[in-house]
């Protein structure tokens, strides 16, 4: 198993109330390596996913986003989802990491 960093960019229809973001952070606290980031025009989500392949990391990230994040921010758009090997980690040499 290797560790992948997954970053998602989400654009809510309206700026979320700080209490909504606090509740979202509290929900994600149970998922180690997951954080909510404030971004211009939206919300960023960073996850660390353990998987043998980047596809598995995408799947894990989508599961977290669709069950824990997007319903809280509804209506919102998932604009970008990127998976990269953790710098210096064992996935850095993975043939599918490019």
What domains are defined for the chain?
A: 2-87 (3.30.70.100)
pLDDT per residue rounded down to tens, the chain (98 residues): 889 999 999 999 998 899 999 999 999 998 889 999 988 889 999 999 999 999 999 999 999 999 999 999 989 999 999 999 997 655 555 555 44
Residue whose C-alpha is closest to residue 5's, from 80, 96, 85, 94: 85
Q: Phi/psi of residue 48, each to 5°? A: -105, 125
Scored b (16 or more CB within 10 A) or e, 35-54 reads ebeeeeebbebebbbebebb
**Burial (CB count within 10 angstroms: exposed 0-12, middle 13-18, buried 19+), residue 18:** exposed
């Amino acid at each position: 198993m290797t560790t992948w960093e997954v970053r998602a960019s989400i654009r809510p229809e309206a700026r979320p109330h700080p209490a909504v973001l606090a509740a979202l952070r509290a929900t994600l606290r149970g998922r180690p390596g997951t954080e909510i980031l404030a971004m211009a025009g939206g919300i960023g989500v960073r996850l660390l996913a353990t998987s043998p392949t980047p596809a598995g990391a995408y799947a894990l990230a989508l599961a977290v986003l669709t069950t824990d994040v997007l319903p809280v921010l509804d209506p919102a758009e998932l604009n970008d989802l990127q998976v990269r090997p953790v710098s210096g980690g064992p996935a850095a040499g993975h043939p599918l990491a490019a």
